[in-house]
A and B are shown apart, each in its own frame.
Chain A
Amino acid sequence: MATGSSPGPEARAELAEGLHRLRSTLARVRAELEVAIGDGEAPPVERLLSDLRQALEVLGDVEAAALGVVRVLVVDDDERLGELTARGLRRMGYDAEASGRLRSLRPREVVVFDLGVLNSLDAEEHAALTVARPIVVTGAADPGARALADDLGASDYLVKPVELEALVAAIKRRMAE
């Protein structure tokens, strides 16, 4: 049903890598179950569950690469506002998640980052965020906030209240880079 633009070279490489990992994981699950049945023993449920979780994660990566699904992480210390934004983006076809803090990013994930969370970052997270070139959102339009956003390598800078359309436009600009 989903028909994004055909995947570019980077996405094709991700796709091949993802499919390879998916097959390995599923083959391992099957082998574990066959061995357990052959030995008449209970299968290692915890390990199988962990493998299946991983397989679903990899499947998500594969889908994103193959179908042109754009993944977005909304980081906001106001949980309700973050979830509301993520939900609005999901309705518009984005695979969006909200989080109160920065987590490890999925491949090619776009980050919408509220400056209010800046103080909670350690040096490593700060570096990862800068590499991701986030769309920075802030509650106040003061020059200090602008400088902080520039320091983060922001691809865009939006002042609250952010209309969903403005955010989507910023995500599209970020994806077009």
Chain B
Amino acid sequence: MTARLLVVDDEARTAELTADLLRRAGYTVDVAASGTEALERVRAGSPDLMLLDYDMPDMEAPEVLDSLRSGGSRIPFPVIILTGARHSPADQVLGLERGATDYIVKGTDRQVVLARVHGALRERSGSPGAITRGRLHVDASRGEARLGARVLKLERRPLMMLQLLANHAGDVVSRAELLDQVWGSSYRGFEHSLEQAVHQIRRELREPGWIETVRGIGYRFVARS
């Protein structure tokens, strides 16, 4: 199944050119012409990724992000902001807390745009569908995890973390990447939560060896029969 993207831009020509670039790369693309229309479309069904113009007459990107986030602490799909303006670090306008995944300045090389879209989709933690590794079955989007027949009682973040690790079975996933993918855009103060989440996962699995600590780097999922 190809990823479904939503392009949001009030300039029809810009929106179509962006959509065309993405369709040529094999994505299924919908277009929304305003922030309001974008929110309506998301209510009807979440896209796999949103490309959001910063400046629109009805609302600016931060407002759209705030609306998308309302009710949950994290937007369930990556949002890449397209902006015509550069921002200095002092502004923090695009800031850490709004929940956007990435930023692209308009006029950026098309290959770079595709690489960033591809990267954001690949890194997406709640990747669609379930994953089975040995006796372990995880489906974070449904809030389920089982080891054999036994249901694992995991909160949302440990569950997302387990799915992310299982998706990269055999590879080390860095602490930075886990914080980025599971805890969202803020890096501050979540180191402790990360350790607690690992502790919770190991306790629920009740068998040693599934999650290895790679000192100073991160964690590795080891598939066991």
By a beta-carbon cutoff of 8 Å, the part of chain A in contact with chain B is 1-5, 56, 59-60, 63-64, 67-70, 80-81, 83-85, 87-88, 90-95, 160-165, 168
B115 to chain A, nearest CB (A): 8
- Chain A residues contacting B175 (CB-CB under 8 Å) are 161
The answer to whether A83 touches B216 (Cβ under 8 A) is no
Which of B180-225 touch A at CB < 8 Å?
180, 185, 187-188, 216-218
From the candidates A64, A87, A94, A160, name the one contacting B101 in the complex (CB within 8 A): A87
Looking across the interface, which residue of chain A has its beta carbon closest to that of B107?
Answer: A56
Cβ of B24 within 8 Å of any chain A Cβ, yes or no, is no
The answer to whether B87 touches A2 (Cβ under 8 A) is yes
The answer to whether A2 touches B93 (Cβ under 8 A) is yes
- Chain B residues contacting A95 (CB-CB under 8 Å) are 86, 105
* A–B pairs, 9, beta carbons within 8 Å: A2-B85, A63-B86, A84-B180, A91-B96, A92-B92, A93-B94, A160-B217, A161-B216, A161-B217
For the complex, give the distance between the alpha carbons of A113 and B94 in Å: 26
The answer to whether A93 touches B187 (Cβ under 8 A) is no
Extra inter-chain contacts (4) besides given A84-B123, A93-B88, CB under 8 Å: A68-B88, A84-B176, A91-B94, A91-B96
The answer to whether B88 touches A161 (Cβ under 8 A) is no
Given A2-B91, A93-B88, A81 and B174 contact (CB-CB distance below 8 Å) = yes
Cβ of B177 within 8 Å of any chain A Cβ, yes or no, is yes
B175 to chain A, nearest CB (A): 6
- Chain B residues contacting A64 (CB-CB under 8 Å) are 86
From the candidates B92, B174, B177, name the one contacting A93 in the complex (CB within 8 A): B92
- Chain A residues contacting B95 (CB-CB under 8 Å) are 91, 93
Looking across the interface, which residue of chain B has its beta carbon closest to that of A171?
Answer: B89
- Chain B residues contacting A56 (CB-CB under 8 Å) are 107
From the candidates A2, A91, A160, name the one contacting B100 in the complex (CB within 8 A): A91
> What are the interface flags for B84-114 relative to A under an 8 Å C-beta threshold, 1 for contact and 0 otherwise?
0111111111111000111101010000000
Cβ of B134 within 8 Å of any chain A Cβ, yes or no, is no
Which of B64-101 touch A at CB < 8 Å?
85-96, 100-101
The answer to whether A2 touches B119 (Cβ under 8 A) is no
From the candidates B86, B187, B218, name the one contacting A69 in the complex (CB within 8 A): B86
Given A83-B119, A88-B187, A165-B187, A2 and B86 contact (CB-CB distance below 8 Å) = yes
For the complex, give the distance between the alpha carbons of A64 and B85 in Å: 11
The answer to whether A161 touches B87 (Cβ under 8 A) is no
The answer to whether A163 touches B187 (Cβ under 8 A) is yes
Looking across the interface, which residue of chain A has its beta carbon closest to that of B120?
Answer: A87
The answer to whether A93 touches B91 (Cβ under 8 A) is yes
- Chain B residues contacting A90 (CB-CB under 8 Å) are 102-103
- Chain A residues contacting B94 (CB-CB under 8 Å) are 91, 93
User: Which 7 interchain pairs have the tightest Cβ spacing?
Assistant: A4-B88, A93-B89, A68-B88, A63-B86, A56-B107, A2-B87, A69-B86
